[in-house]
Amino acid sequence: MSELNRIPGATYPAPNEHHFELAKLKSIAGGPDYSSAHGGCVVGERMIVALMRMPAGTLSEPHSHPNEQWVFQIEGTSLNFIGDQEIEAKPGSLIYIPSNVVHHGRVTSSEDSVFFTVKDTSHGLYGIKK
């Protein structure tokens, strides 16, 4: 990952560092100007992984990013809009977001939404608000 795409506050593995407790890492914003998501994030050479939490009743505004993204729902439920599709994510759901597709969502459960997400490092963690 280039220095231009460096993610402030994220964890970058040291040589021979292979174990991370995502829930115990420093919490960073998942999308500072468009999302309430926050959590621990680890950045490798080619992948970014994060365990994010969105408080109940909050949302992410429409945004996109040049890198594709996977989102695995762990707790809570959310209603997601990916392009022209509407998808409800329940625990165990896996959502694929292709590169450059505008998407957004909101937490629909009375509990926080907790999800694990993966992106490639071609762009970084943050999207571009639409």
At 62, which CATH number?
2.60.120.10
In a domain? residue 54: yes
SS3 call for 3: helix
Q: What is the pLDDT of residues 39-77, one digit of tens each?
A: 999 999 999 999 999 999 999 999 999 999 999 999 999
Classify residue 19: in a domain, yes or no: no
- CA quadruple 47, 51, 57, 62: dihedral, nearest 10: 0
How sure is the predictor about 6, in pLDDT bands with cuts at 50, 70 and 90? confident
Q: Considering the domain boundaries, does residue 18 fall inside one?
A: no
103 located within any domain: yes
Does a structural domain hold residue 17?
Answer: no
Phi first, then psi, for residue 120 (nearest 5°) are -80, 160
**Residue 3: per-residue pLDDT:** 54
In the predicted model, is pLDDT for residue 85 greater than 60? Answer: yes
Neighbours of 5 (CB within 10 A): 15
pLDDT at residue 94, rounded to an integer: 98
Q: How confident is the model at residue 37 (pLDDT cuts 50, 70, 90)?
A: very high
Q: Mean pLDDT of all residues in the chain?
A: 95
The total domain count for the chain is: 1
Residue 114 has a CB neighbour count (10 Å cut-off) of 18
Q: Cβ neighbours of residue 128 under 8 Å, at least 6 residues apart?
A: 63, 64, 65
Q: Within its chain, how far is the Cα of 82 from the centroid?
A: 14
What is the C-alpha to C-alpha distance for residues 34 and 91, in angstroms, rounded to an integer? 23
Q: Identify whether 47 is part of a domain.
A: yes
Sign of CA dihedral 87, 130, 112, 21: positive
pLDDT of residue 98: 97
Q: Which domain holds residue 72?
A: 31-129
pLDDT confidence of residue 70: 98
The whole model's pTM is what? 0.94
> How large is the average pLDDT for residues 73-92?
98
Q: Is residue 85 part of a domain?
A: yes
CA distance 56 to 67: 27
Would residue 4 count as lying in a domain?
no
Q: Look at residue 129 in the predicted model and tell me its pLDDT.
A: 95
The reported pLDDT for the residue numbered 107 is 98
